[in-house]
């Protein structure tokens, strides 16, 4: 009877060790995928934020010139781009094995997800404003446009900071 009990215990230990090994492998794969996605997002944010500052400066330059429309200002800076914030990798955590990941990392990823929602909402608001204001040349419309662009920059900057903090956390988690 003792050999049977020992055999079952050894089998359970081997099974637990193997499951732990598979969990670590899964965790590392997901963390690397999240790291790559966050890095791509950060590169996009770092590319568009200076362009948005340039747009604000250009609006300021033509703010009182009632011969220049918002559409013409946008043409001068070659339009406006929005960063595409991806979060597919982190969504995979939600669907399986969430217990494998650190609470702090999950909190940071949730903050990024909320920032992404704010970014999307503000991008839609900005697009509506652009379409409604393309031909407008008055000072008030340009000021309103500048305020929305500055809000957009603020959301992008918060997203950038959240990405940097999360990447720092991932650096430690992957070591």
The label of the residue with tokens 């997002």 reads 41
Sign, CA dihedral 119-74-149-131, equals: negative
102-136 pLDDT tens trace? 888 889 999 999 999 999 999 999 999 999 999 99
In a domain, 143, yes or no: yes
Q: Report pLDDT for 151.
A: 96
In a domain, 6, yes or no: no
SS3 content of the chain, % helix, strand, coil (to 5): 85, 0, 15
In a domain, 1, yes or no: no
In a domain, 155, yes or no: yes
In a domain, 44, yes or no: yes
pTM of the model: 0.86
Q: For residue 101, which of 171, 17, 28 has the smallest C-alpha distance?
A: 28
In a domain, 16, yes or no: no
| Domain, as residue range, for 52 | 22-174
137-147 pLDDT tens trace? 999 999 999 99
What is the count of structural domains for the chain?
1
The rounded Cα 25 to chain-centroid distance in angstroms is: 25
Q: For residue 133, which of 54, 83, 68, 85 has the smallest C-alpha distance?
A: 68
């Amino acid at each position: 009877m003792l050999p049977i009990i020992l055999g079952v215990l050894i089998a359970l230990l081997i099974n637990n060790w193997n499951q732990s090994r598979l969990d670590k492998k899964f965790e590392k794969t997901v963390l690397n995928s999240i790291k790559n996605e966050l890095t791509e997002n950060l590169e996009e944010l770092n590319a568009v934020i200076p362009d948005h500052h340039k747009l604000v400066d250009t609006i300021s330059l033509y703010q009182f010139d009632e011969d220049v429309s918002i559409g013409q200002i946008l043409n001068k800076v070659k339009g406006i781009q929005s960063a595409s914030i991806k979060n597919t990798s982190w969504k995979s955590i939600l669907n399986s094995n969430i217990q494998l990941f650190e609470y702090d990392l999950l909190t940071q990823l949730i903050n990024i997800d909320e920032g992404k929602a704010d970014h999307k909402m503000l991008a839609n608001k900005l697009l509506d404003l652009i379409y409604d204001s393309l031909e407008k040349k008055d000072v008030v419309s340009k000021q309103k446009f500048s305020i929305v662009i500055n809000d957009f920059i603020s959301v992008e900057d918060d997203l950038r900071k959240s990405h940097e903090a999360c990447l720092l956390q991932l650096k430690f988690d992957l070591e």
